[in-house]
Amino acid sequence: MSKVDKSEAEWREQLSPEAYRITREGATEPPFSGAYNDDKTPGLYRCICCGEALFGSDTKFDSGSGWPSFYQPRDDNAVDERTDQSLGMTRTEVLCASCDAHLGHVFPDGPEPTGLRYCINSAALQLEPEE
């Protein structure tokens, strides 16, 4: 997969201020505020920055955390992970493998079959509904 590389100005022009703050600066939307937290529409969740397919609605579950949660990415190569030691804690940050957009974090307290909870900001996603 080739990396999407844009300047800060290009990202700012393309994204809403909230999407820029979250995906390019690593911010987080307030819990229970995102458009996809309670959404049950079948479809494919893509990166708001580059359009990469990230998560399928078939892996989405209600974690009660206040953010859309998935138990696995659509493809093993869709996301990258790195250690995040901000806010005085150690977490695993989730990034779009194609454009390095900050998506959210992954935690080891999800449902089977993976036991993982990918806690993702709605503003980092664009839902492509099934036809």
- Between 2 and 111, where is the model more confident? 111
Task: Compute the average pLDDT of residues 94-100.
Answer: 97
Checking if the pLDDT of 100 tops 80, the result is yes
Q: What confidence score (pLDDT) does residue 3 get?
A: 86
Task: Compute the mean pLDDT over every residue in the chain, rounded to the nearest whole number.
Answer: 95
In this prediction, residue 1 has a pLDDT band, given cuts at 50, 70 and 90, of: low
Q: Where are the domains of the chain?
A: 8-129
Provide the whole-model pTM. 0.94
Query: Domain spanning 8-129: which superfamily?
Result: Peptide methionine sulfoxide reductase. (2.170.150.20)
State yes or no: pLDDT of 116 exceeds 90. yes
Amino acid (one-letter) located at 53: A
Mapping DSSP onto H, E and C, the string for the chain reads CCCCCCCHHHHHHHCCHHHHHHHCCCCCCCCCCCCCCCCCCCEEEEECCCCCEEEEHHHEECCCCCCCEECCCCCCCCEEEEEECHHHCCEEEEEECCCCCEEEEEECCCCCCCCCEEEECHHHEEEEECC
Active site residues: 119
